[in-house]
Structure 1
Amino acid sequence: MDVVPAAAGTDESSPSNDDTPRNGGSAKAAAADLNTCVAVDIGTAGGGRQDADATVVGEEEEQIVCCGRRLSKERVGWYMFDWANSPIYTVALALFLPILVKSMAEDYAYGSSLQSCSDDAMCGRNGCDTPATCTACVPGRGILEWVGSEGAYREIEQKGVEFLGVEIQAISFATTMISVSVVAQVFVFITFGRYGDFGRWRKNLMIIFTLIGALPCIGIVFLDRPSLYWLGGVFLITINVGLGSSIVFYNAFLPILVELHPKVRRAEPSAHEGRDQHPQLDQPATAAATDFTGLLTRSLTEKGSGAMAERVREACEPRACRSHEGTPRRSYVSASPSFELVSRSLGGLFSPGRRWRDANKGKADDGDTSTEQGSFELELEKRRKAFRTPQLTQEVLEVMRRAEDVSNEMSTLGIAIGNAGAFLCLVGAAALQFAATNDDNGRLADRLSTALSGLWWLCFSVPTFMWLRAHRGPPLKGAGGWVWLMGWKGTWEIICQARMYDQVLMMLLCFYFYSDSYNTIASVGVLVAQSELCLSSVALLFIIFLILICANLGGIFFLWLQRRLKLSTKSMVLVVLTIYLFIALWGSLGVVPGSTVGFKNPWEAYLFGVLHGFGLGAVVSFSRALYAEFLPPGKEAEFFALYAVTDRGSSWMGPLVTAVLYQTTGEMRWIFLYLLVMVALPMVLLFFFVNQRKGELAAGRLEAVRQAISKPDAAAPAAKTATSC
């Protein structure tokens, strides 16, 4: 694998800002001030790589040569993180780690009094042919204790273990730790998610949480005594929190990489205009800055100079047009710099949900006495009018479709690469299960398999840390006081400003329901296969292999189907959810008296693995891609933290309802009726209340879209237009 160096940029020359009147008393001076700020903020980015972590939009992408093909080095680094972390889900958290922690707690609580029946003993619904007292799986009844002296089954006597002074049943110790980890995840997501939008913290936090999760996963190999069950519980919580948090910041790179993808950049009409006007600044963002500066100049001329000139200076401050030494500072290209500057100057028209304070804080300014709330309502109404009937040319719509295609392609490819990595790691773990010598208490094979997944995660994350650029945001010090509460404050602001984020919040509401449905379907399917059908560990392992293989096949098939039929990402989410609707209907047949299907036969477990796998990769991929299109620039990490909170926040519902229904009816298949509602309801909400085009326009991630919204009448009358759906 060879590295192809990036092509050299243009000469680094940006207008000096020393002579620019920072305190201009006229609209023209304020506009010139913004011109200087934009030139300083963006102009230096065209002059070659000064910082390995900075995003240089004007340069050719740095590439690597692999298998005779040239690949983007940064995007390969992004894909590698999915390859690295997916085995943690499949090998550690879904298989060996909960079993290991549960076994350690049971061994400590019961000692040698709780033993499984030997393989030679034939156990069925009516009993076992052994005089010993042991545990066995009874089809339809689950794990029971066989008392040979009495010749009958009985429920296992519950014993507890202590964790932080609280007694927990040994059998449910692992599931309790998973529940605690979910609560911890929600707290960490909200607290730290917003930090990823500042400075280099998006990448730094991804590295930190990877280490927090991977090192305990490797350290599991040293837990060789049942008395260390409590440490196993701590490790389980830490691994789950580290994995979920690192993926929040990993996902936050997706919309940025899509925006900078060559296919999207080449489709941007503003890119070509900008190069003609400013050849020394060979980047699409600079062209947009030129157009937006003209727009701002007209706005300043119409409205006067006082407060607007102050807004221009205020817009420059967060971008740090000057460093402390007085020299120009590099651009933070986590979002388009020109868009960020002008959106601040115009009062947040293109920045969803931000209440930019009035420069005079409510004081009269040329007869304008509007308060901050009034300004917010005014800008909200402007946005509603702009997004209600934007006349978008076919050229602009093509840019939006191109970005949608790239987002789906990258998301699907990432999931597929992750599943491939999980498959290979699972093969290694299966080999360890057969090769390792287990003692009764050490569970050596489970510990080695879990440690293998942690080592895999840590080692294969290194290319990501090396090749994925930081895509800096504004400095964290500009966030104000109470830094540790910044994430909670941001979440509250999003909720309060729901009207600005209506499409984002409706998407999150739908995702809240259907993510719980497919996660619960996965866990219920395994539980039914294990307790109701009494499938062996080898059979369960084979089903997991089926799920991984079919997940990749399903992702590829549905991506092909989308391109073939030219369906939107929202439509693809609905199409894939029909698979889970069918699974829920199929499972519900099991409660019908006299029915011979509905998870009552071993072959149905294998069919379940095929269907669940076929839909899993696609629904995760398309959901992530659709949500990424709705995110405002510069707030990717904060919003993907909410995405993760939504996913984990609903994870308690399915298990709770499963437990209640099982205790009430003694039949686990009743849960499929609940899942039927949890799939059908979000499908209805998604179909009627989520407008994909409206969400994309509200986010304004693409230069062509922002220009179309800011100048709706700019398109020539003869141009072919289309109204957003």
Structure 2
Amino acid sequence: MSQHDSVMSATYKQRLRGWLSYAFASEAFVVVSLTLFLPICLEQFARDNGFFQPEKTQSCNSLSGDAPANVDDRCAVKIGWLWIDTASFSLYVYSISVALQALTVISMGSIADRPLYRKPLLLTFAAIGAFSAIFFLFLSSSSPLWMMSAIFAIFANVGFGASVVAMNAYLPSLAKDSPEVIQAHSELRSSCEDRDENAALAASADVELELSLEEVSDPLLGHPIHPGASQSTYTTALSRATSRISSLGIASGYGAGIILLLVALIPVTRLGGSTFSLRLAIGLSGVWWALFSIPAAIWLPNASNIDEPESGSIKPDDDWTFSSEIGAAWKRLVVMLRWREIQRLQHTFRYLAAWFLLSDGFTTITSTAILFGKTTLHMEPPSLILIGAITPFSGIIGSLVSPILQRKFMWSNLHVLVLLVLMVSLIPAYGCLGFLPIFKGTARFGGLTTQGEMFGLAVYFGFAYGAFQSYARAFYAELLPPGEEARWYGLFSITDKSSSFVGPLIVGLIADSTGNIRYAFFFLVFMVWAAVPVLLSVNIDKGRQDARDYVSRRTLVGE
């Protein structure tokens, strides 16, 4: 290896460590706070300031000797002139944070496409999110400013979502600079050079020989070159490198979440799940997020050593401002969603349609399973928290094992995705079996009728879901117009978040109308299976070429 290659390899490893370190930093907040402690803490903040309905005269936190006759009475808190159920309070906060996150992602996507500003943008939103979580340490539910908890939660979620869009924008360039892709690219270039040399030899031959086209490729000129094979090798190497790096990021994040979750469980358990213990867990996730973002700040490329090409659709650095770029980003979103653009990138949009269904289906399976375990199987909070730890741990195994199986069986990313989707669809299908008479009454196992089955399904689901997250991101990376990764990952994030309202809403309506949440499993099976034909219609090779042509055309016509 030459000195130049050694330097390039060291630079690549440093960038990869920086990228993985931010996944390690930010995903801990998701596992510990966003999906577990933050919703509980927000509900507890509201409960500590709420009153039992319908009288609304007795405080909800008075559960001692002067507790109401029926402690199951619903608790409501007054926000302005409205009385809001304390359980709904956290849902409303989450909905608002998702909406603001979508607006932020749209506005900053084009800025994150500029390599010079990608890292500052990532670190800025990381700081906003981390310190918003840390502020929970200093806010008591008895404070007159307790409503600030909603503001902190919103800013934390927005900071996470926006920073992850900037982080994902690094993925395509990291894959292209990986050693195996560099080697495949070198072989492809060598193949093209050999082909050009053979063409020159054939052109310089004596015209009197009147060689036929078949004779030009005679072995006398050397072995025939098949550039198509080299191109296929390169695209395969790029695809696998993307999925491998994405899998490492998912595994790194899940690992951080498990470690911090086990640490946070100590004070939460010893303090009996008090509001302070919940605040402490959220604050710890913010501290973790901030501390482990420091290696990312050091190792991710700075403005002085960025060599990524900017898209031709992006104006030069001396011809823009943040405000003008934000306005242009919204205009570009309108252009991106025009029917003409959808036709140009039809395979990218087909995948986004499948992602809309799958993202909603998978996240709804998670929330429905936890709610089903609590209300139908009567699982205690410690058991549910244990499931919350088992799932990401199994996700680490899934995200690391899947690339190994892919290489062994020579599967494409699309084949892996479809297999994982079918695997996850078996979970709600298994829950539907609980309606069969054989699993009712005296049955001790089967059809998701026992608590033990929940633990087994947590392992199974975590394995498939961890792998799915890494491959979903990697597969999408192959369909993006070069130089516009952040903008399109922003649309990826918007599709994800906008779908998060549909599944829970329908599951809630099903549960309310039937009185049995198990009926929701039929809907979840349908939602996941509906995405399979859409996913199978995606042609990755055609989509990749369309993305390249899309940028070339925009550059040519000055769009």
Q: TM-score range by the shorter chain?
A: 0.7 to 0.9
8 Å Cα contact 1:213/1:239 also seen in 2: yes
* 1:61 counterpart letter in structure 2: S
Please list the CA deviations of residues 89-131 of structure 1 after superposition, one character each: whole Å capped at 9, or x if unmatched: 111111111111101101101286435979xxxxxxxxxxxx9
1:397 to 204, 216, 232: 232
CA displacement at 1:275 relative to structure 2: 13
Partner of 1:333: none
1:644-659 paired onto structure 2 within 5 Å: 644-659=493-508
Secondary structure in 2 matching 1:242:
helix
Please list the CA deviations of residues 497-521 of structure 1 after superposition, one character each: whole Å capped at 9, or x if unmatched: 1121111111100000011000000
Q: Which stretch of structure 1 is more off in the superposition, 192-201 or 234-243?
A: 192-201
* 1:394 counterpart letter in structure 2: A
Q: 1:482 to 1:73 in 2, by over 3 A?
A: closer
Gapped regions of structure 2 (runs ≥ 5): 53-57, 198-225, 441-445, 553-559
* 1:691 counterpart letter in structure 2: N
1:607 to 456, 466, 474: 456
Secondary structure in 1 matching 2:79:
strand
Please list the CA deviations of residues 52-99 of structure 1 after superposition, one character each: whole Å capped at 9, or x if unmatched: xxxxx9952326xxxxxxx81110111111111111111111111111
Partner of 1:178: 94
8 Å Cα contact 2:105/2:490 also seen in 1: yes
2:22 matched to 1:84? Answer: no
Gapped regions of structure 1 (runs ≥ 5): 1-5, 10-56, 64-70, 119-130, 135-144, 148-154, 278-289, 292-390, 707-725
8 Å Cα contact 1:161/1:170 also seen in 2: no
Partner of 1:453: 285
Partner of 2:145: 228
Partner of 2:250: 415
CA distance in 2, matches of 1:274, 1:394: 10
Q: State the structure with more CA Rg.
A: 1
1:156 to 47, 70, 73: 73
Partner of 2:466: 617
1:190 to 106, 112, 118: 106
Please list the CA deviations of residues 290-323 of structure 1 after superposition, one character each: whole Å capped at 9, or x if unmatched: 99xxxxxxxxxxxxxxxxxxxxxxxxxxxxxxxx
Instruction: Name the % identity.
Output: 27
Q: Which stretch of structure 1 is more off in the superposition, 258-267 or 205-214?
A: 258-267
Partner of 1:327: none
CA displacement at 1:593 relative to structure 2: 5.8
1:156-555 paired onto structure 2 within 5 Å: 156-162=73-79, 167-226=83-142, 227-269=144-186, 393-436=228-271, 443-470=275-302, 471=306, 473=310, 475-478=316-319, 482-496=324-338, 497-555=341-399
2:415 to 546, 560, 571: 571
Please list the CA deviations of residues 436-467 of structure 1 after superposition, one character each: whole Å capped at 9, or x if unmatched: 5876xxx2111111111110011001111111
8 Å Cα contact 2:165/2:493 also seen in 1: yes
CA distance in 1, matches of 2:8, 2:416: 33
CA distance in 2, matches of 1:161, 1:83: 38
1:98 to 39, 43, 51: 39
Please list the CA deviations of residues 451-504 of structure 1 after superposition, one character each: whole Å capped at 9, or x if unmatched: 111100110011111111154646444459843222211122222211211111
Q: 1:7 to 1:235 in 2, by over 3 A?
A: farther
CA distance in 1, matches of 2:120, 2:83: 38
8 Å Cα contact 1:199/1:476 also seen in 2: no
Partner of 2:16: 75
* 1:674 counterpart letter in structure 2: F
Secondary structure in 1 matching 2:9:
coil
CA distance in 2, matches of 1:637, 1:612: 29
CA displacement at 1:392 relative to structure 2: 6.0
CA distance in 1, matches of 2:32, 2:317: 37
Aligned residues: 498
* 2:278 counterpart letter in structure 1: D
> What's the RMSD between the two structures over aligned residues?
2.9
8 Å Cα contact 2:109/2:490 also seen in 1: yes
Q: 1:117 to 1:676 in 2, by over 3 A?
A: farther
Compare the two structures and name the one with the higher strand fraction: 1
Please list the CA deviations of residues 583-634 of structure 1 after superposition, one character each: whole Å capped at 9, or x if unmatched: 1211222345664344332112212211211111111001000000111111
CA displacement at 1:169 relative to structure 2: 2.2
Partner of 1:580: 424
8 Å Cα contact 1:553/1:614 also seen in 2: yes
CA distance in 2, matches of 1:269, 1:177: 51
Please list the CA deviations of residues 670-692 of structure 1 after superposition, one character each: whole Å capped at 9, or x if unmatched: 111111111001111111x1011
CA distance in 1, matches of 2:471, 2:47: 41
1:11-50 paired onto structure 2 within 5 Å: none
Q: 1:199 to 1:613 in 2, by over 3 A?
A: closer
CA distance in 2, matches of 1:550, 1:249: 27
CA distance in 1, matches of 2:373, 2:273: 25
CA displacement at 1:217 relative to structure 2: 0.2
CA distance in 1, matches of 2:106, 2:478: 21
CA displacement at 1:224 relative to structure 2: 1.3
CA distance in 1, matches of 2:294, 2:518: 44
8 Å Cα contact 1:259/1:403 also seen in 2: yes
2:489 matched to 1:640? Answer: yes
8 Å Cα contact 2:424/2:465 also seen in 1: no
8 Å Cα contact 1:97/1:450 also seen in 2: yes
8 Å Cα contact 1:528/1:599 also seen in 2: no
1:107 to 48, 59, 70: 48
8 Å Cα contact 1:437/1:444 also seen in 2: no
CA distance in 1, matches of 2:191, 2:333: 37
Q: 1:676 to 1:175 in 2, by over 3 A?
A: same
CA displacement at 1:181 relative to structure 2: 0.8
Partner of 1:60: 8
Partner of 1:34: none
Q: 1:612 to 1:116 in 2, by over 3 A?
A: farther
Secondary structure in 1 matching 2:78:
strand
Partner of 1:667: 516
Partner of 1:35: none
